[in-house]
């Protein structure tokens, strides 16, 4: 007989009602959410998203771009000093820079399939760590911060939280923007990097449905 290691599927997460009260546990789609993930895929995706946020604007001037230096500083021989042809030489103060930085792109790419896989694996990582929570809906009737915290505080998150919703809600955006370490996004705009850089992940039921359809391609 061969001993095959059977990996336990973890796809059960807490679910809260619209008032922030815990209702129990909910089973996620076992064909997607298993709690297993690949660190190498997450690392590659994170590296790509991080690189694409960089703006390569640093710039230095080479000797052809430095002003002045048209005249030879002194004659070639007879001065006792080292010969010099231009004050724009990198050896001179105010001269050109050798091998200095110049504007360029740090952009990296990965395939659409890998992006989708990285997104799924980042969600599975949150499930395995117990940092994935589902809420029936986020109903905020006004733009006051206390309207959002009234619901949010009952869930008792520790650390930063990414909130994924199914549709744009101006009241929700306004009521949550002043809360430290809370980011609200559409579930259709989620990526692996956003999920991994937050401690917790909260998604509405409709947002989860849209996310599942997106992951199935």
What is the band of 112 on the pLDDT scale with cuts at 50, 70, 90? very high
Model confidence over 65-106: pLDDT tens digits?
A: 999 888 899 999 999 999 999 999 999 999 999 999 999 999
**Does residue 148 lie in a domain region?**
yes
Is residue 100 domain-shared with residue 178, that is, in the same domain?
A: no
Q: Give 169-192 pLDDT, tens digit per residue.
A: 888 889 898 888 899 999 999 999
Domain assignment present for 198: yes
Same domain, 31 and 116: yes
Q: Does a structural domain hold residue 151?
A: yes
Clarify whether residues 44 and 99 are in a common domain: no
Provide the domain count of the chain: 2
Place of tokens 């917790």: 200
Domain assignment of residue 84, given as a range: 56-105
Same-domain check for residues 201 and 116? yes
Looking at the fold, whether 207 and 153 belong to one and the same domain comes out as: yes
Asked, for residue 7, whether it belongs to a domain, the answer is no
Q: Is residue 93 one of the residues assigned to a domain?
A: yes
Residues 101 and 141 in one domain: no
């Amino acid at each position: 007989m061969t001993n095959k290691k059977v990996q336990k599927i973890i796809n059960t997460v807490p679910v809260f009602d619209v008032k922030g009260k815990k209702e129990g546990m909910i089973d996620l789609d076992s064909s997607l959410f298993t709690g297993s993930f690949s660190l190498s895929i997450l690392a590659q995706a994170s590296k790509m998203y991080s690189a694409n946020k960089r703006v390569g604007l640093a710039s230095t001037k080479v000797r052809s771009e430095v002003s002045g230096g048209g005249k030879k500083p002194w004659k070639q021989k007879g001065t006792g000093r080292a010969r010099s042809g231009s004050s724009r030489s990198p050896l001179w103060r105010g001269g050109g820079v050798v091998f200095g930085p110049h504007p360029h792109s740090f952009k990296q790419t990965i395939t659409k399939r890998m992006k989708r896989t990285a997104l799924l694996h980042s969600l599975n990582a949150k499930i395995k760590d117990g940092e994935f929570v589902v809420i029936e809906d986020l109903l905020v009737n006004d733009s006051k911060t206390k309207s959002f915290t009234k619901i949010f505080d009952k869930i008792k998150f520790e650390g930063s939280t990414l909130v994924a919703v199914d549709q744009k809600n101006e009241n929700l955006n306004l009521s949550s923007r002043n809360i430290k370490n809370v980011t609200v996004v559409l579930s259709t705009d989620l990526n692996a990097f956003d999920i991994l850089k937050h401690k917790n992940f909260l998604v509405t039921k409709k947002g989860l449905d849209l996310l599942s359809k997106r992951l199935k391609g």
